[in-house]
Structure formats: structure tokens, C-alpha cells
A and B are shown apart, each in its own frame.
Chain A
Amino acid sequence: MFKRSRSFLKQIGLFIAICAVLLAGNSTIPTLLNPYIFMILIYCGVNIIMGVSLNVINGLCGEFSMGHAGFMAIGAYVSAFFSFYTFGPFIDELTATHPGMTMMLTKQILFLAAIVLGGISAAIVGYIVGLPSLRLRGDYLGIVTLGFGEIIRVVILNLEVVGGARGFAGIPAWSNFFWVFFFVIAAVMTSFRMLKSYQGRALLAIREDEIAAESIGINITAYKVKAFIYGAFFAGTAGALLGHFIAYLNPATFTFIKSFEAIIIVVLGGMGSVTGAIVAAIITTILPEALRPLQEFTKIDFRMVIYPLLLLTLMLTRPQGLFGHKEYYDVIPFLKRKKRA
């Protein structure tokens, strides 16, 4: 018990330290980088959350979900709805009456509330989507989740209160370095903690063999749904952060192509590897941007052809993904000794 609580305290300490670093970064990084690089950095963060959260559903639990874009859309739209209709006007009022520190703090708290609300609504939808996973397996589940994702998108497309097909403009641009990477750290740390806990091991057991897992007393139903709730929550926060960064949302952003991007991140990094998902998210965000100079050279936009070709090459030459089942501590030599059993 003592040992466990010490490890827990250590994690809390680490978390606070990271928050301090992020706060420091929040005031310095946007001034150091040019806006374009900063934008890519934020996209990297959003994609890391997307990849790491899907990694728990697809990589750890082995449940084939193709509806991640739907969860993102829910999170993005719900949070944008609240900050546009309730929190935004409230902050505007506050700026007029109590400018300064009070307003700044309230704004941050309300933004956090909006993100969490978005995440929770996505998690609720994740629970509903996770339910068919009790009956369906493999590709069928994939197709059903894809279907749910598309239904969510079409419903949003028909909701005039959030702009419908025109898109939702005028969302307060509250996203900043701190909040994006706060949720990146939260998703990554919880994933790593899960990996080494009873929960994560249960998910891995389900991935490897459902029947065997059930026979040793793992409640596979509960764990599958839990994986969906966890994944959907963070996907929702990723969507919320994205919406508040570009201050505009369009249902066309959340087509199944977006879900494929998330799956590509998970498979590229290696199924179940959190480190892999992070690295793959960064690569898939930076690669299209890095290929941009090529476009000026050839005059034709070859980027979107090269990207799938690279993906195919990687699948043919390294089918287990970049990291396979490994994590950073399996790869970097001096951390190897510290690996806990």
C-alpha cells in the first residue's frame, strides 16, 4: 500500500512539474516560433491526443474502431456550442466589467469546463457506440463504428444551431500551448499508467485472446466499453482543442478520412505502443508540411500521392509499425534497467 501511494505521489509530482514547464512554455514558445511552425506544433499535439486515445481502443484492446472522427466531432461541437452560446458572452461581459486577472482566470476555467464537457459528451457517445462491440467483432465492428461516425457527421450537418453545412464560425479562439499540451500529457500519462496496470493488462489479454481472457475472470464486456469511453473522451478533448484553435468547425473535417488518419497513426506507430502512436502522430503531421517545398519545385501537388506511397512502403517493409510492441524504455538503453516488471 505504502509503495503504491508513493508511486502515485511521484506521478502527481511529475504532473505538477510538467504543468509548470508547460506554463513557462506557454508564454515563451508562441513568441519564439513563427505562427506557421506554432500551428504545426498545435496540430501535432491534437494528433497525438487522437492517436494515443485510439491506441487504447484499437491497439491495446484490439477492438477495431473506425469512428474516431465522430467522437472528435462530438467533443468539438459540444464544447464549441457551450463556449459560443454561454461561456463566450459571459467572458465578454466580464471583460467589460472586471478586466484583468479575474477575467483571465475565469476564461481559463470556463475553457477547461468546455473541453471537459466536450470530452464527457464524446465519452457518453463512446459508451453507446461501444455497446454493439458486445455483439460484433472485427471488421463488422469497424464498419458499425464507421457508420456511427458518419451518422454523427450527417446529424451535425443538419443542425442549424451549430451552422450546419456552412460550418460553425465565431468560436472563441481560446486554445493555447498550455491547454493543448496539458491534454497531450494527460492522455499520454494515463495511457502509460494504464499499460502497467491491471486495466491495461486486461485489455491486452482481451486483444490476444478474448476467450482465454474471459476464462481467467476478466469481464471483457466491461473492459471493452471502458476502452471505448476512455478513447472517446480524449478524442472529444482533441476535437474541442482543435475547434477552439482554428475558431471554426466544419462537418467536412470529421469525415471517415479523419478516422483513417487516426488508424494510420496507431498502425504506423505499432499496435498498442504509446510511444509509437506519439512518434507516428508527429510524423504524419509534419510529413505533408515537410513535403511542401516539393510542390513549388514540381508545380503540381504531389504531396498527397507521396504520403500514401510512403504508407504503403512502410506497410510492406515494416509491417509491425515503427515501434512494434515496444515503448521508449525498451528502445533507449539506459532506461532499460529501470523497467519495472
Chain B
Amino acid sequence: MNTPAIRARDLARVHDGGRDARKALAGVDLVVEEGEFVCVLGPSGSGKSTLLAVIGGLDRGYEGKVELFGDDLGRMSDAVLARLRGERIGFVFQHFHLLHHLTVLENVTTPALFDPRGDEEACLARAKHLLDRVGLADRAADTPAELSGGQRQRVAIARALLRKPKLLLCDEPTGNLDAETGARIIELFEELHREERLTIVAVTHEERLARAATRILRLHEGRVDTTAEARP
């Protein structure tokens, strides 16, 4: 039996806001097998982004247990967890988080800055290949300010793929895009899943992204609504 890409047990996360402490996750159990494309749906405030941050190792203030490719995140030091994020996980954010003082190519190669074993020439070659893959080979020298929203998100996806991650975590990846642009991004995810066998977990409140997934989870008030789990 293969080790799942993600295994979360009894996951809870309380956002400490003094008197207004709020339970973002309340006992989430989750298993994502390698190669799955899982979409987590839910209304605003249902805990989707928190779930993504916890399983991506960005948020360590949780209770319960999270395993990524069999490794318990809770037992990792900051440095080991950072290496795991760099080597195995790619992040795509709703707001792209591109660095505006850098060119498109420099943005894509940003993860290589923190790769202690990286080869600069190989990294550049891969970045150019990825830009070609997302249709932006001719915009490598431009800055993010010169790109449209959809193009920016494609740069962000290329950046997420630079170090050949096994898991792509996407937080509302089409949330800031118009319908047509969003559709093209969804097609790109489908291609990546199909051709690269990437495990993808995307949180969204958009049904059209969910239709591209192999499995849908619904979060409601910090819990997985098991009755709503579905395969499109």
C-alpha cells in the first residue's frame, strides 16, 4: 500500500484573537493519495486557507497530526520543514505574491535562492522551460507590473513548479481572475495533473475549479462535511 501524500488526523486550529478566539479547524481528518487532484470547497471562513497552510507546513500552531509523504510535520525542526517545503511543495496563491522589483524570470527562479544543492544553469534552463510551458517565454524580461492578472498567476505557477515539487497547494488560484482567464488557469492545472502526475490540493469557493478535480471535499465551520465528499 502506497504512503498517502497527505494524512491529517483530528486536525484543530484555533486562531488566537484574545477574547475572540476562533476555531478555524475543528477535528479535520483527511487523506490525499499521491496523484490526486483534490478541491476543497467551502464558504469564506470555513477554514480552507488554514487547512492549506497547515498541511503546507506554513502554520505550526495546530493540534492533531499531519503527515506529508509519511513524515510527521509536528516532529520536524524549522529547518527540516523549510527544506521539505522547498523540495516537495509548490504554493500558488490567490494574490500571486510576485516580487515586483524582479523580472518574470527572476521571480520564477526565486525558490532556487534557498536550494543549497541547486545548479544555477540548470535552474535557469528549467525556469525558461516552465515559462515556455505556461506561454510566457517572451515575457521573461518583463516585470510583473507589465503583466495581466492571468499572466501573473501563470508566472506564480511556473515559480511553484521550479523545484519539481510532488505536491501543489493552491489557495484560491482563480479568485482574482476573470472567468476567461480563470478557465485557462484551470486548464493548466488539469494539464499539470494529467501530464506530470502532480498531487494537487486546491481550496476555492468556485465550482468551475472543482469540476477539474478528481475529488471534492467540502469544509463547513472547520470540519469536513463527509456527506458532501464527491467525485465529479
* Same assembly: no
Tell me the B residues contacting A by CB distance below 8 Å: none
